[in-house]
Amino acid sequence: MDEALSLLRQDQWRLIDQSTTGILMPAIQSFAIDDTLCASVGAHLSPATARTWVHRDTVVLGIQDTKLPYLVEGLEFLRARGYTPIVRNSGGLAVVLDEGVLNISLVFPEKERGIDINRGYDAMWMLIREMFADFGKDIEAREIVGSYCPGSYDLSIGGKKFAGISQRRLRRGVAVQIYLSVENSGGKRAELIRDFYSHALKGERSKFVFPEVQPGVMASLSELFETPLAVQDIMLRLMLSLKRNGGLLYSGQLTPYEHELLPGYLSRIAERNAPLTKP
């Protein structure tokens, strides 16, 4: 855990807050921005960067989800419910984004000996535990069976998942990404993904394993802490934790160099999403 803590203790943190300004931005742009940040931070042209982002009703699919036997029917179901489906450029399975879900990306440079994958996950877990330490609840990192996009670093309280962590590695940069279910019902989000798989599988067996989603094992932080929390409340907690762990914390935006890189990464993820576009 000491090595994970050292990742959080950067000489400076640049914070790019798109939790409000990015709401109207297409979600594929967020994944392109994180790739851009990996390239610039990995090349030591930018400092370690924390980026926060929120998107309106979107279901982010993993690459494996595109192998569903009745994917078209599943996508039609999501669109009929008012959600925009996209495919991210990394692993994992379907997750829900909406205005009550805060995404945090921590982008680090790979040093000479690299960053072990678990070290990146542990750093994010430690950050989240510190952010909510005052509630006095144990935040565990373990797979929650029955959740959507299950993984060994599901974050949960009392067996109910409120967050999932993923990683993206590119050009000696590492982006550790987490979605935090902050407001409203975590179970309702799980019902959406459960019904998506029902439409996209139609009971067929598949060579890929998809989760049997059980809404009762997922919740939001507001539900788990029995306290109304908003995305902006979490932003304040994040800033305070980064300030405690790092040196200089400053608000920033993409640099001119990053703006030059962004269109290339955006075109790559747009190509991946072209098959999902409605005719």
For the chain, the structural domain boundaries read: 2-276
- 3-class DSSP assignment, residue 203: coil
What's the maximum distance between 2 C-alpha atoms anywhere in the chain? 54
CB atoms within 10 A of CB 30: 25
Q: Is 213 exposed, middle or buried (0-12, 13-18, 19+ CB in 10 A)?
A: buried
Instruction: Give tens-digit pLDDT for 193-239.
Output: 999 999 999 988 888 889 999 999 999 999 999 999 999 999 999 99
By annotation, the residues acting in catalysis are 149
Superfamily of structural domain 2-276: Bira Bifunctional Protein; Domain 2 (3.30.930.10)
Give 13's strand partners: 249
User: What is the overall mean pLDDT for the chain?
Assistant: 92
Kindly indicate the confidence band of residue 5, based on its pLDDT and cuts at 50, 70 and 90: confident
Q: What is the CA radius of gyration of the chain?
A: 18
Instruction: Give tens-digit pLDDT for 39-69.
Output: 999 999 999 999 999 999 999 999 999 999 9
Give just the sign of the alpha carbon dihedral 77, 155, 101, 251.
negative
Query: Which residue has better confidence, 72 or 110?
Result: 72
Please state the rounded mean pLDDT for residues 119-132: 94
pTM (2 d.p.): 0.94
